Amino acid sequence: MSEELHGRHRDTLTKLLGHPASGNVEWREVKGLLESLGAASEERNGALRVTLGGETHVLHRPHKGGLGAAYRAGFAWALERGYERIGQMDCDLSHPPAALAQMHAAVDRGAGLVLGSRYVAGGGTKGWSLARRVISRVGCVTAMRVLGLPYPDLTGGFKLWTADALRLIDVTTTVSNGYIFQVESTRRAHIAGVRIEEVPFVFVERLHGASKMSSGIAAEGALILWRLRRDGWRPPGRRTAPAGAEPGITRP
């Protein structure tokens, strides 16, 4: 983790973990996992825990391996420690903590995967350029059409999983490393018959940093989509895919 974390990124993370607008979600019961590149340092780990709270953990990785590799490492870490609900969200407040209460409620109703969606009724984006909006929508529509999936926000990274769903899709064997990891994991859940619900949210442009999405990355992702279409993945021990649960949309 860069030294910048002890500046503006630390401030952003502190705001996230202490955010009051989380509805019925008790943040003192939420455990955070941060991933860091570079050698582990107990001193730095300790400083982070003091700054962000004792329930924040730091997972050090020696080198970059892509977005998918980071998620696989994080999911494996959580599953090994027995967590039953495992969420993905950007820690710069572009994914609103207020939506977590609705997402947890969807799991309470039986969902195995809850997708925070920008592209269902009630969702949207704020602060994006026209080019960014076009790239995002084209990427999502392309993924829907190529893979035959009914979820309009397939590239989004605001999700809540149950541990059972992650085990069912055998998440550690996913192969995508870019943003297509989001598509691949949701596709596996759909094929496996996991109940999937969608919760609308408005993505507000990040406070710090910049999106890595570009037309080149989107084009590369489109090629990977065709590989996924032909990969023939099925849940372990199952040769044919079930019809798959119809998506549910949770209204605000």
Domains and CATH numbers, the chain: 1-63 (no CATH), 83-249 (3.90.550)
How many helices (H) does the chain have, and how many strands (E)?
8, 9
In degrees, rounded to 5, the angle at the alpha carbon of residue 55 between the alpha carbons of residues 69 and 102 is 75
Q: 231: Cβ–Cβ under 8 A, 6 or more apart, which residues?
A: 175
pLDDT at 206 (0 to 100): 66
Contact 80, 57 (CB under 8 A): no
Q: 232: Cβ–Cβ under 8 A, 6 or more apart, which residues?
A: none
Q: 121: Cβ–Cβ under 8 A, 6 or more apart, which residues?
A: 200, 249, 251
pLDDT at 186 (0 to 100): 97
**111 membership: H or E segment, kind and range:** none
pLDDT at 51 (0 to 100): 44
Three-state DSSP class for 168? Answer: helix
pLDDT at 139 (0 to 100): 87
* Beta strands, E only, 38-178: 56-61, 85-88, 113-117, 124-126, 159-162
Q: List the one residue out of 94, 6, 83 whose CA is nearest residue 51.
A: 6
CA 6, CA 222: separation in Å to the nearest integer? 37
**251 membership: H or E segment, kind and range:** none
For residue 60, the tally of other CB atoms under 10 A from its CB is 16
Q: 128: Cβ–Cβ under 8 A, 6 or more apart, which residues?
A: 136, 203, 205
pLDDT at 226 (0 to 100): 87
Q: Mind listing the pLDDT tens digit for each residue in 141-166?
A: 999 999 999 999 999 999 999 999 99
Q: List the one residue out of 121, 101, 88 whose CA is nearest residue 19.
A: 101
Stretches where the chain sits below pLDDT 50 are: 1-8, 21-30, 36-54, 241-246, 251-252
Contact 198, 117 (CB under 8 A): yes
Q: 181: Cβ–Cβ under 8 A, 6 or more apart, which residues?
A: 66, 67, 68, 71, 174
pLDDT at 160 (0 to 100): 96
